[in-house]
Chain A
Amino acid sequence: MAEGHLPTTSEYIGHHLQNLVYGKFPDGHWGFAQSAQDAKAMGFMSINVDSMGWSLFLGLLFIWLFRKVAKSATSGVPGGVQNFIEMVVEFVNQSVKDGFHGKSALVAPLALTIFMWVLFMNTMDLMPVDLIPLVAQKIGVFAFGADPHHVFFKVVPTTDPNITFGMSITVFLLMIFYSVREKGLGGFIGELTLQPFGKFLIPFNFLLEGVGLFAKPISLALRLYGNLFAGELIFIMIALLPFWAQWVLNFPWAVFHILIIILQAYIFMMLTIVYMNMAHEKH
């Protein structure tokens, strides 16, 4: 590229899998990480600008689109956009009705937010793998005078575990909150310790239920992350083929990926509904 040599395969892949990180260097000053080592050295006090930015942009896109329709929602004959929004809302509402048996004003909007947001973030996976990173690189080089090799850019927020864990932990906190609110602190602790083997095996019960409890947010986050990361990785590898051969693999994988995108958004939503239902259920 700028230094005259084409990146090797592993360099290309590595470059694509590195986030654009802004954070605090070990020596105390704040700035963009110039390499994966820099990003690692920053540790926790850093932020993935690309995933955070896209995530916020897509979340706001969802909010803007739905708010626009919600403001002018009519019970008469719905227009085109309202039809689409209502289709989604109806679908989410039906899923919530099927999976959640309590009464809560939160669960349905939560499910809708998850479904649409994750769907939008996943859909970024269908963008050509080099298009947006290339634009970002040009902007980085011309606007900030950055070295093109050090401009990293990942466009699919759900391939960043920070994003998926951010969502699953929020769901987890809501789960804990509603469990305690519905069953009382005693009820919640009882649920964790008094089953499945009765009160004589409390430590064992606690271990079992504790693992079960923490497995929920972890599996939720890792399932989404793993699926999208793997999908993106395969797109990146397909991009390494000669340009005239790419479509042979690219097209079928993209078609298949449309399924993955929707399915993963649906699974995240559905499991959240189920978990919230468990939090509301009294034994």
Chain B
Amino acid sequence: MNINLTLFGQMIAFALFIWFCMKFIWPPVINAMQERQRKIAEGLQEADRASKDLELAQKSATDTLREAKVQAAQLIEQANKRANQLIEEAKDNARAEGERIKVAAQADIEQEVQRAKEALRAQLASLSLLGAEKILQTSINQEAHSKMLEQLAAEL
């Protein structure tokens, strides 16, 4: 093994290669790799966040659904209550109306009866007069007896 100028040749070449590698090879390659690493990390984070968002959205969706159900139930209950109320009201109204009609009818009947009585009374006076006339077969002083007959009719 003889050491000769090759030693220096190799040293110079080595130094140049190191310099070139340091300037033009290492930085772009390592930068690209780190950039990719960053991108992947970001992507993973994004996916994580998205799945969390999805979870949240699902939760809020079920919440909303439950709320809606509760509201619907409330509404139905309210509606039922209102319907019952309406029915009750209608019933009351009907009852009141019936009562009123009945009262009016009774008043009418009363009136008719009164009128009939009036008529009867009027007819009865003359009839009884006529009857008494017939029975007594005498003429009666109409003026003397009509007062008495009127009194009799008023007692009816």
Q: Which residues of A contact B (CB under 8 A)?
A: 21, 23, 39-40, 42-48, 51-52, 55-56, 59, 62-63, 66-67, 69-71, 73-76, 78, 85-86, 89-90, 93, 105-106, 108-110, 112-113, 117, 160-163, 165-167, 169-170
Contacts and interface: CB of A to CB of B under 8 A. Distances in A.
B17 A163 contact: no
**Taking chain B's interface residues, is the majority helix, strand, or loop, or is none over half, making it mixed?**
helix
A110 B18 contact: yes
Question: Which 5 A-B residue pairs are closest in the complex by CB-CB distance?
Answer: A166-B10, A75-B35, A162-B6, A73-B32, A109-B22
Contacts of A45: 4-5
A70 B28 contact: yes
A55 B10 CA distance: 8
B38 to A, nearest CB: 8
Contacts of B30: 89, 93, 108
B5 A59 contact: no
Contact of A109 (B4, B5, B26): B26
A167 B17 CA distance: 11
A166 B29 contact: no
Interface string B15-39: 1011011101110111111011001
Contacts of A105: 22
B29 A75 contact: no
A178 to B, nearest CB: 13
A51 to B, nearest CB: 6
B4 A170 contact: no
Given A73-B29, A75-B35, A170-B11, A106 B5 contact: no
